[in-house]
Amino acid sequence: MSYSVGQVSAFADVTVRTLHHYDKAGLLSPSERSHAGYRLYSEADLARLQQILFYRELGFPLDEIAAIFKEPQANAVEHLRARQRQLSEEIARLQRLAEVAERAIEVQQTGVSLTPQERFEVFGEITFDLSYATEAERKWAHSEGQREAMARAAAHTKEDWRRLMGEATAWRAELLAAFDDGEPADGERSMDLAEEHRLHISRWFTTCPPDMHRRIADDFVADPRAFALVVPPSQQRPGLAAYMSKAVHANAARHAGGPADSEEHR
């Protein structure tokens, strides 16, 4: 039995133009012609079309499909295995993107509620890298501290942010001065600055015990985006992130086993 182009187009759910393209590409040429010269497809042609559509659904380009058809036994399994690996990698990539998009939505919904102009006015050079914020959300998704920090950040008013950033600016100037003066990272001055930073987090975001502060400081060294939230790149010095991290660890050791600081809960 033979079928016209229109019939094949209808039940195979492909356009007539696509069938003509497959013909010109040498992938699927109708086996027969009507008396009037119209293309007619045989059962074997339809089986070949089904194979083409299968490979197309898997994302194979037409030239690769043609290569498979030339030596089906030699090429089909090899090509399919390669495509399987590609699809698995793509699925994993898309899954990661879906997770990032989900967290990005959460960050946007619970983040700093200021207009772009207000953000620039309040934060200046300090910028929030969305990719880092999203990864932090994923990393600390099960942390009560992270949830509290996001909730409190969302509740801050513009005036709150002005005060917060004013504190941070003054503290940053002291940190840079200590670093430039060659103050040891584990010296009293540097440890006091680390303690001020810890209490700043507690006042404005979430209670920050020394162990948590150490993990935050480790991120400063591991990820430049994290440290950029504390010191903008234009003010950074080589080794400053490591210096801050060392000061935090030294301060945590100094406070180990000591009484909880009531100032954390102000």
Whether the model clears a pTM of 0.85, i.e. scores above it, the answer is: no
> Tokens 């399987």 appear where?
84
pLDDT in tens, 43-81: 999 988 998 998 888 888 898 888 888 876 656 777 788
pLDDT in tens, 100-135: 666 555 545 545 555 555 555 545 555 554 455 556
| 246 band by pLDDT with thresholds 50, 70 and 90 | very high
Average pLDDT, the chain: 81
Q: Other CB atoms closer than 10 Å to residue 194's CB: what's the count?
A: 28
Residue % of the chain over a pLDDT of 90: 37
Which has more confidence, 133 or 96? 96
pLDDT in tens, 137-178: 556 656 677 778 777 877 888 788 889 889 999 999 999 999
| Residue 216 scores a pLDDT above 70 | yes
d(CA 175, CA 194): 9
Which are the contacts of 8, defined by CB distance < 8 A and separation ≥ 6? 14, 19, 41, 46, 49
How far does CA 76 lie from the centroid of its chain? Answer: 35
d(CA 69, CA 51): 9
d(CA 62, CA 26): 10
| Angle between helices 240-255 and 188-204 in degrees, nearest 10 | 80
